[in-house]
Structure 1
């Protein structure tokens, strides 16, 4: 039997919200079996928001959750770190309305999890096994699908008309926690100088800087340190997919194929999958499929 996991101890960090520029402190705490991920707004008297598909309120430029009017935004990088490290259950305390962007990747969240250490729990790890192919398509060739597969694999393709990006493809085993830490967690979010002013007029990216995003001009990268990977852009898309699909509340068993996807497509796919009872089943995680934790 593969057992569920949580954190051995509490750990905290602080930073700034990417879109709101608000200062925020976040703490990760152990949680009982079958909790999944629960956010707790400590600035609102411990108000809880479950990380679930049903809680999604908006996903234009980040994934935002809401419960009875209370919102929490930019949750995808932290959820990606938890799922990528094979943590099943955690309470997440936050003292503002947006998660901190940190360096624009999930690296610092992954390091938090390593500091807290991961421990097994008595209950069996459950997984959502995909039994029928489900697809969501939007205009412009944007699409994402999930189909039956003996594991959890993500095949992601992006295509940007920029000399440093172009067409990039990456195939990733999303149950390999060590590979996640090494190949995905460090990949940063990215944006273009041509779009920054428009975003700020929309009250977005107020906290954005070269310290928390890869910023591209028409033909170069503004960041003095350059890129962490030649294909950092598609790796970050996979980071986002893992975080958004973590909203199902447990590991997935299926193969995801994404082309030019984003938060809206990711959450729409999970909503469409869950609406079709014949397309999925909750099972015990098969022995030999789930990889070791970080």
Structure 2
């Protein structure tokens, strides 16, 4: 079976910048994505704080998962990291330093696409070190309240995702994706975050989603059969594709690209997080490999 694995680690050729608003704070945020040395992974730097603390993008530093994935170390936090993490993983960037001048990554248009454009413009730079993959060696499953995630051995990173909503517009949607650069850019990156319109109003009343608008959230109409956004949907199954986007971003917090087939049912940030913790608590289910080790 032909895989799309890359032997080397990659960083950016030059820095990339994005400016937008924070989904929850409603405040303007600027991020810079900079090249970083081999084996350093992805890290976030809060440039607005006096000591400019650094938070590595790791699953064990995930604090809250309500509506977004938030990294916390001590008193320092960076929220809504999932779409940028998905983009870095989807475009095959292993090492980068992300500066953020507020407490959350900007939501941009609710998808990963603005990050894709910025990173493609910056370009990739191959580094003189082998990429390490987290290879699944035996199946593992996690279930909670009708939701589940299972991973099985695979030569690539594949995701099968099923969602189930009462809304007529969504109902049951299923999507299978092989996570590589081409497929991420063509079929996943443009899928936007979504919510019921009354949920968004309720969040506003509670001081959340203050930056949420029809510019960055697909708002499902009260009648559950259409969306309020003028341009409509980008894909008929944009909802399940966005869930895959979130899953790619959260799975990137494993710290290495996964080689395995994930099957997710009714997934969300808290499920992804619980699954990663279970995975790392079961080291007999995985190992670390490089392409040259797999060739032997």
TM-score by length of 2: 0.94
User: What residue number does 1:132 align with?
Assistant: 138
Residue of structure 2 aligned with 1:6, choices 4, 11, 14: 11
Residue of structure 1 aligned with 2:66, choices 26, 39, 60: 60
TM superposition outliers: structure 1 runs of 4+ over 3 Å = 285-289
In the TM superposition, what is the alpha-carbon distance from 1:192 to its structure 2 partner?
Answer: 0.5
What does 1:272-283 correspond to in 2, within 5 Å?
A: 272-283=278-289
Matched, 1:79 2:85: yes
Q: Deviations over 1:198-221 (max 9, x none)?
A: 222332211100000110112211
When the two structures are aligned, how many residues end up with a matched partner? 287
Q: Deviations over 1:31-60 (max 9, x none)?
A: 011111000111113210000011100101
User: What residue number does 1:199 align with?
Assistant: 203
What does 1:202-221 correspond to in 2, within 5 Å?
A: 202-217=206-221, 218=223, 219-221=225-227
User: What residue number does 1:260 align with?
Assistant: 266
Matched, 1:96 2:102: yes
User: What residue number does 2:46 align with?
Assistant: 41
SS of equivalent residue, structure 1 residue 146: strand
Gaps of 5+ in 1: 290-294
Is contact 1:188-1:236 (8 Å) kept?
yes
User: What residue number does 2:3 align with?
Assistant: none
TM-score by length of 1: 0.95
Q: Deviations over 1:229-284 (max 9, x none)?
A: 00000000000000000001111001100000100001111111011111111110
User: What residue number does 1:180 align with?
Assistant: 184
Gaps of 5+ in 2: 1-5
Instruction: Write the distance in 1 (CA, Å) between the matches of 2:54 and 2:120.
Output: 25
User: What residue number does 2:277 align with?
Assistant: 271
Q: CA RMSD in A?
A: 1.5
